[in-house]
Amino acid sequence: MKVNSLLFSTPLGSTYVQATSDQILSIAFPEEEKSDLFTELYYKEAIHEDEYDELAKYPLLLEAKKQFQQYFAGTRCYFKLPYKIYGTPIEQKVYRLLSIVPFGYVISYLSLSQMVGIKSGARFIGSCMKKNPLPLIIPCHRVISNSGKIGGFSAGVGRKKFLLQWEKTNWEMSHESSSVGRWLWYTFKRKNGEQTQTTN
């Protein structure tokens, strides 16, 4: 299985996507100001967004970049990309539930834990969010504390604040224009009850 990667710019900074020919495997945000070996490897091994001829050989990476650009342009409220995510059966269930929390809505760590059948499992949910290899596609930034505090984020709290504010600002437009967004929300409510809220 050959794995390729792309490094491109978004409002979150340098964005790294790793994929096979048919599945997204991971998304990360390497820090340009750091010089550790792990960060250097991101830059060394990845195709850069200005390498047009090379990038054209990898349609899925190209599509991922396109969908990220659409999200940050305010014209896309969900990602439609094939992906592979690993974890225990209960972690997989958490990620499946989280994947249908719509653009512009948030859910608490506690509510999410109760939905997967773990009472008072907020800490477990936090651990799952920290291990999530596909931020934005699996929108762990939409999970906040029961008190309303935003909680942590593997890519940095600053990025989580930005994403929540971005979705709050663009929420009305996305839900007026996207029947898919509304369908996801109603499906989620039917399956799990009134346990999420809008960021507005």
Active site residues: 140
Element (H, E) at 45: helix 37-45
Q: Nearest 5°: CA angle at 60, between 55 and 62?
A: 40
Strand order in the sheet with 4-10: 24-28, 13-19, 4-10, 47-48
Cβ(46)–Cβ(9) below 8 Å: no
Take residue 24 and report the two structure tokens written for it.
Answer: 């997204």
24-28 and 13-19 strand pairing: antiparallel
